[in-house]
Structure formats: structure tokens, C-alpha cells
A and B are shown apart, each in its own frame.
Chain A
């Protein structure tokens, strides 16, 4: 197994510049008060990773409990708190900020040839808001937890639950503003800060997908923020909004909540799609097939994503007309998603495909996202959803999109841009090993859950019938897969950290990829480019002789 990256090297060994953004200034304060988008991206990398660890520990507790049919490890109340903590941490503090706040922060200015984001101070403030929201979330956890599920459904959350709903809701509220300001920053930056010649039809698809994501962040997040505010008012001051005892309607809460939280799914997956477009093009040495369609598909997903929220409410009192409308629109959202999958596949066709570690994640993404998307169609069908609603089929479906999609894209992106971020090369054999372990562990964890859900196992229970032997077999497979998956996550932490200290210098462009971010040094200087670049070529301009 040889290192593919060495193939691209000239005889002169790559070097690291003497001064770059990591060592331009020193001391803790130079980090905590930095306005450099690249340093803020690293602050996010550390904090988001910490939350991922917390969320992961709760996931392991869930899988441990379900290894046996009896509720022997956790009481029902504790189990409720554990799956709520897993959901809240993973959704609000990992998935939503992961790719945009880390890779997006680092790359959006680099890719468009800007010196920074438009509002560097607001960017730093976003990180502090994220941390403040996280502190509220952690405070809720250590003071006893929450048991409402991450969806905070009323009236349970406002009238019945005696856990720390308010702390958690305030945490999610504050974290929401962090993502609003990130989205605002990206949109303004992409509109006003592009380098000369970086026209809209030359923007990398990573930028297009972040543009679409930012639109959702700005248009959706305020609605969930005000909804959580109403929830807190109802719970603390007994204002009547959603509680039927006070004359309210709980279904209104669900409408308002999912108006944001369904598009939020696309906040999570669209940036991942941007990462995949970059990786597929770089390791096929070809422009992305149907560039314009892929770019428009991002906007299409963002727009149609706002029109489908009612498919979370097929089993409520929602009217048949609304249900049919939402079902139809949910099917429509599959079209732009499928356009992307087909176009990535077509990009591979007759490309010079290099199976480097980021590419392994990207190929994994295409397969797993397709499964996640297609099973979503099952759930968008009104009749079938009545059977599947709140079963493990739903759990498996969204984990195929969120973990098989977003998380794999996140890992692929981290591996792809790690040499740019740190200026160092990691061990490619270890990276490939980890990618394979993650893929195997993921499928072993979540595929059995499709079967379990189809057989009728409901989600959010700490025990299941002992008579159903096949249920336990499938659950044990799933728990075993989770421990393999866990190892697949620990490995990159080790070899990436090691590479940051001991890795060989990467040079500006270790992958031989095309794009402005590869034209500056690794790590880049604080101002990103020595001189403002002038763009004369379209995105993914891989010259024919490279084939």
C-alpha cells in the first residue's frame, strides 16, 4: 500500500512556511479573542468534537441497555434522559454546527479568495454563543437531565415533565442564534467578498451548498427560537400557548417546531453534499458532472425542504388535505437529492479515480445517503408511515442520513482538508483502515434497526419483549456494530493528533487538487493569500493531461 499523495510531488520536498495563521501570534488570549476565521474554525473543531464525545457516550449507553431485552442497566426514567441527551447534544451541538462552523468557517473565505468572513467579530461571537448554549445544555445534564426527547413536544414538556426542560430549551435557543449568525456571515461574505473573476458560475459547489444551508439557518432558526421561548413562557409563567388545559393546541407546537426542524435536517446534510462534490471531483480528476444542476439542486433542496414539515405529523390530528400535500412535497425533495447522487456517480465515470481516504468516505456517503434517502420515501408515504411511525425504521432512516451522510462527509472533509488546516500529512494506511471500520461498524449498527422497525419495535423504550428472540439477536448485532463504530471514531483522533505534531509537511497542494484553497500555503497565512487571487478558470478545472 503506497501513499497516493507522494505521486503528486515533485522532486523538491514540500515545506511548511515559517509564519502562518497558527503561529502568527501566541498565547491563549490570541485564540480566545481571535477574529481569524481559520482560528475560529479550530475553536469550533475542539468544542464540537467534545460535544460529539458526550453525545457518543450517551449513544453507547443506549446500545448497552438494548443489548438485553430487560430494562436492567438503566431505569425507564434514566433511559428517557439518556436518549434525550443523545438527541439534543448530537442535533444542536454536533450535527448543525459540524461542517458549516468548522470546515465552512475555514474554507468559505479561502475558496472565494477573501481575506476573512465579512463580519469577523460576529463570527467570534457565534462561537461564544455556541459555547454559552452548550453550557446551558451541560448544566441541564449535570443537574439531572431532561426526558422530553430532543423535540420538546408539548404539553408533556410544559405541563408534565419534572426535569430541566427550561435550561435545555434556553441552551438550544442560544445555540440557535450562533447558527443564525454563522449563516448570515456566510451569505454576506459570498455576496460581497468574492475575488475578482470568481463569478457565481465559478463558485465551488462547497460554496453553493453552504449558501443554501445559510438560507435555511436564517429563515428557519428564528422560528424554533421563538417557539422555544413560548414553551419556556408556558412552562414557567403558565402562559397559554400549547397546553390544552389552558386552551392551547399542542399540534401548533409541532407545526412551528418542524417548520424549522425539518429544514434543519438539510442544514445538516447540505454542507456534507458540498464536501462530497469537492472530494469526488478531486479524486476523479474531473469537473463535477452537471455542475449547474448540482448547484441548483442545493437551492432546490433548501426551498422544497421548507414545504415538507407536515410529514412528521401524519399521526396527529393534521387534516388529510394537509397530509396529502406534505406527502407529495416530501416526494418532490427526492428529485434534487437524486440529481446530486446521479451526478456524482457520473463524475466517477471514466475519471482517474484515486481511492485515497477522503474518497473512501465520499463513496461511503453516496451509498449510505442513497439508502437513507430511499427509506425516507417509505416514510413520506402516508399509509406506510402509520405503520412505521415512531419505530426503529425511522431511527435507522435518519441515522443513515445523519451518520451515513453528514458524519461520513464530515470525516471525509476533515481528512481532505487536514493537510491544509495543519500543514501536515497523516498516515494514509491508518486513515483507510479507519474509513473501512467506520463503514462496517455503521452498517452493522443501523441496518438491523431497519428490520427491527419493520417488525414493529418502537423507539424510545428501554426494554422489549423477551419472547421475540430475533429482536434480541438484531439488537445485539446493532450494539456490536456501535462498538466497532466507536473504534472507527477513536482511531482518527489518535493518528490525526499524532500527525499534527509529527506528520511530514504537506506542502500547498498534497492531493494535486484544483481550487483557490490549494493555491496558498499549508497552513495558510493569516490573510489567506499573499496577493488577492484573480480567478480565470471555472471550478474543477482539471486539465486533460492529468488523466
Chain B
């Protein structure tokens, strides 16, 4: 609730004109980010819906096709992404306690781990191209009877992991300026909204992968 009587204290430089208090502004930003994540849940939700239906319709094909993925690379990437969630949580913590050097360090670690994840993803994608597992005219599957289902499996694989990777790339692009801001000391325990919001986004991307890993790699 807006608080009209707040003659106290000087205006924080990050307080925008249309808010009364910094707290009101932070509540609005936090709620806005959560609303955005709700739309993200449903955005990915459409693909998960398709996955559920087709896994039910083409169970055998999905099983067979999932063996084409490298579980160890998937496991490695899961560990990397969970690790980046940890560094992100530590970064948010550092921004709350005002430890600037730690904040910068953990943000850079998050970016590096995200980069490693995407690097592994590139290796995996390249493998699919050489093995003709990319849906389309050149798609080939060793068991002709299971080909349709396998093609749908790989359509979903590329759409889901591709959309996930797109979110990671966009996240990385947003993280770069945030690291610069952190380095220049823009954030304080009073105001660290971008760190907090970015953290929420990054954890969400992690959650998507937490579901993608067992659904795509482990069958």
C-alpha cells in the first residue's frame, strides 16, 4: 500500500518519481518479476504439454530416442547449472550484506558457469547434426518403425533445450551490464533490485532444466 506521509530522509537516487518510497518501488519490482516468471511457466508450459501428450502416445520411440543423448554430458551440465544457481544465491546474499568484491566475484562465476553450460550444449547439438538426429528432411533413425515418434522427440528436444538456451543467452547478456554496475558500486544493502530480480530469473532457468534433464535424458 502506498504511504502518502513520508517526509523523512532524502530521496534515494534510485527512487523513481512515481513511487513514494524505496520499499514501495522494491515491492513493485519484485511482484513484477514474479508475474513475469508466471508467464514464463506457461510459455514453457505449452512445450511441456506437447511433451506429455507425445510421450504418452509414443512411449517406445521416446525411450529409444532418449538413448541417443549423452547422460554424462547432461549430468555434468545439471551440476554446472545448479552450481551457477548457488553462486547466484551467494551473489544476492553478498549484495544484501554489502560485500562488493564478493558480489562481483559470484556474479562473474555465475556468468562463467552459464558459459560452460552453453558450451557443452553446443557440443551436444553438433553431435545431433552429425548423427542426422535433427528433425526435417535429413532426419534418420535406426529403427524405422519408431521414426515418427523419434522425430517428435527430437523436435521437442530442440525446441525445449533451444528455448532454454535462448533464456540463458539472454540472461548472460543482461548479466554483463549488471556486473559492470556491481563493479562500479551501484548496489547497496538499501538498493540491489537488479541483482534480486536477475537472481529470480536465473533460478527459474535452472528450474526449467531440473525438469528437462530427467524428462529428456533419463528414461
Contact = CB atoms under 8 A, between A and B. Distances in A.
Given A114-B2, A118-B32, A233-B155, A226 B43 contact: yes
A131 to B, nearest CB: 21
Nearest to A242: B50
A217 to B, nearest CB: 9
Nearest to B148: A247
Contact of B32 (A116, A188, A196, A233): A188
A514 interface: no
Interface stretch (B33-41, B123-131, B182-190): B33-41
B144 to A, nearest CB: 13
Interface string A111-142: 00011111110100000000000000000000
A534 B4 contact: yes
Contacts of A192: 1-2, 24, 27-28, 31
A121 to B, nearest CB: 9
Contact of B28 (A193, A238, A249): A193
B114 interface: no
Nearest to B149: A247
B38 to A, nearest CB: 6
A166 to B, nearest CB: 16
Contacts, number: 133
Contacts of B137: 238
A238 B43 contact: no
B46 interface: yes
A239 B43 contact: no
B50 A219 contact: no
Interface-central residue, B18, B28, B158, B159, by most chain A CB under 10 Å: B18
Contact of B39 (A188, A218, A240): A218
11 contacts: A115-B18, A187-B31, A196-B3, A219-B42, A220-B42, A226-B45, A229-B159, A230-B50, A234-B155, A240-B135, A527-B18
Given A189-B28, A241-B156, A241-B159, 13 more contacts: A116-B18, A187-B31, A191-B28, A192-B28, A196-B2, A221-B39, A222-B41, A223-B45, A223-B46, A227-B46, A230-B159, A255-B49, A532-B4
Interface of A: 114-120, 122, 180, 184-185, 187-189, 191-196, 218-223, 225-227, 229-230, 233-234, 237-241, 246-249, 252, 255-256, 527, 532, 534
Interface of B: 1-4, 16-20, 24, 27-28, 31-32, 35-36, 38-47, 49-50, 53-54, 57-58, 135-137, 148-149, 151-152, 155-156, 158-159, 163
